[in-house]
Amino acid sequence: MEKSNKIIIIGGGYAGLRTIEYLAKNKQNQIILFDKNPYHYMQTEVYDLIANEEDFAQVTLDLYTFCMGFDENVVFYKQEVTSVDFDNKKVITQTQRYSYDYLVIAVGSRTKFMPSIKGLEYAYGVKSLHRAMYFKQKFEMSLFNKVHEGGTHAKPLNIIVAGAGLSGVEIVAQMASYSREFYNNNNFICRTLNIVLVNSAKNILKGMDEKLVQKSKKRLRELGVLVKNERKVVGLDGVSVSLSDGEVLPMDFMIFAGGIEPNTLVYKLKLEKNSRGFIETNEFLQVKKYDEVFAIGDCTTIYNDGKVVPATADVSEQMAEFCAKNIENLVLDKELQAYKIASRGVLIALGRNYAASKLFGLYFNGYLAYIVKKIVERVYAKRLDRVAKRGCEKIFKS
């Protein structure tokens, strides 16, 4: 009888689920997935959630039924991992210790709320679902309150987004287009909107393709978004935001997308990390000192020709594929495969029915790019949903 391979995956994000899809094909792999939440959050679609184009059900996947959809060799435990004993190959949760032969750390990242910025408790992040849902409600209530004020002297709605990376740009574009469409469609007089994107760099979308940057800048101007480059948020008090150049902006609410940091577990793990606190890995995605342990997704940093590869869902899935292959190579005592990861394309959502994209070296923008982005998102969701439906059928039959 062949020996089974005990594989533990920590984190039910893009990287974790893709790893399961590959490894579950081998029935000798007995896989446990741990996550403190019972759902997978499709964060790439948060801009649609905020603007009511999608609801809670469309941006989440139930991890219980997903894991049940495989051939009895995958199980999900809704437990928070508190530490890992790497020397004895034990994953420790709040309730139990679990042994592993191979471990995949895929816990992702979170919004970095910098302690040096006073008043960040008044800001919202969107990397976690509960924060995104809370902000969505606040956004809708702000629109309603401005409508309720009415009259020609209604105060403007002041929206501030701090951070002009991909998340910040997509969210500010979606809010701008949604808000203006909302006012126009309902013929409300109170159409005054002040939407500001605060960016610490010289340009938005730092590190991204220059043509996409220019297309995005043009679109933001068309939407009436005011971009303030080379400035930082230094404080806020619930009604205003103070910038590093001394300017004070009125604020109804603010999204903080000014950076990311590893999730809490990473700080507790006794592993080598880089200067930003992310797990160090080798060319095979293994952590230092422990060949049977891999780190993938946003909790680690990888490089392409010496340059940091931006953390995206596409990159996370590619990392998962290399990770799964190398675990199989370890099992079979084969040579490991060094990762070769590059973006397969970029699709930037820039408001309702509009996107900018670069796919296979070709640039296009507008409604066509938007449709392509929605197709990519739907294909991803359908792939996971097919597995989850099999899991539902098994549960109903049992």
What's the one-letter identity of residue 114? M
Rg (the chain; Cα; Å): 22
In whole angstroms, what is the distance from residue 24 CA to residue 150 CA?
A: 57
Write out the two tokens for 33. Answer: 């997935």
In 35-168, which ranges are E strands? 39-41, 60-62, 74-77, 81-85, 90-93, 97-99, 102-105, 109-111, 123-124, 157-162
What pLDDT score was predicted for residue 291?
97
* Mean pLDDT value across residues 86-111: 96
Asked if 144 and 162 count as a contact pair (C-beta separation under 8 A), the reply is no
DSSP per-residue letters across 110-161: EE---TTSBTGGGEE--SSHHHHHHHHHHHHHHHHHHHHH-STTPPPEEEEE
Asked if 210 and 167 count as a contact pair (C-beta separation under 8 A), the reply is no
In whole angstroms, what is the distance from residue 203 CA to residue 213 CA?
A: 8
What's the one-letter identity of residue 121? E
pLDDT in tens, 236-273: 998 999 999 999 999 988 889 877 889 999 999 999 99
Band (311; pLDDT cuts 50, 70, 90): confident
Write the Ramachandran bin of 320: left for phi over 0, alpha for psi from -120 to 50, otherwise beta.
alpha
């679609």: which residue's tokens?
A: 45
Identical fold for domains 5-36+79-111+261-342 and 120-258, yes or no, is yes
In whole angstroms, what is the distance from residue 6 CA to residue 4 CA?
A: 6
Min mean pLDDT across 43-47, 49-53, 177-181 is at: 49-53
What pLDDT score was predicted for residue 190?
46
Measured at the CA of 109, the angle between CA 236 and CA 172, to 5 degrees, comes to 50
What pLDDT score was predicted for residue 88?
98
In whole angstroms, what is the distance from residue 206 CA to residue 288 CA?
A: 30
Angle between helices 14-23 and 313-331 (to 10 degrees): 40
CA atoms within 13 A on the CB side of 169: 27
Share of the chain above pLDDT 90, in %: 62
pLDDT in tens, 147-173: 676 655 567 788 899 999 988 999 899
| Residues shown for the chain | 398
Write out the two tokens for 131. Answer: 């924060």
* Mean pLDDT value across residues 206-220: 92
Asked if 27 and 3 count as a contact pair (C-beta separation under 8 A), the reply is no
CATH number attached to the domain at 5-36+79-111+261-342: 3.50.50.60
* Mean pLDDT value across residues 174-195: 72
Write out the two tokens for 240. Answer: 């205003």
Write out the two tokens for 320. Answer: 């998962």
Measured at the CA of 234, the angle between CA 229 and CA 240, to 5 degrees, comes to 90
* CB atoms closer than 10 angstroms to residue 333: 6
What pLDDT score was predicted for residue 214?
95
CATH topology of domain 120-258: FAD/NAD(P)-binding domain (3.50.50)
The domains of the chain are located at: 5-36+79-111+261-342, 120-258
Per the model's pLDDT, the better-predicted residue between 32 and 126 turns out to be 32
pLDDT in tens, 331-388: 999 999 999 987 778 899 998 889 999 988 889 999 999 999 999 999 999 999 999 9
In whole angstroms, what is the distance from residue 307 CA to residue 32 CA?
A: 34
What's the one-letter identity of residue 83? S
* CB atoms closer than 10 angstroms to residue 215: 23
Min mean pLDDT across 11-25, 68-82, 181-195 is at: 181-195
3-state secondary structure of 89: coil
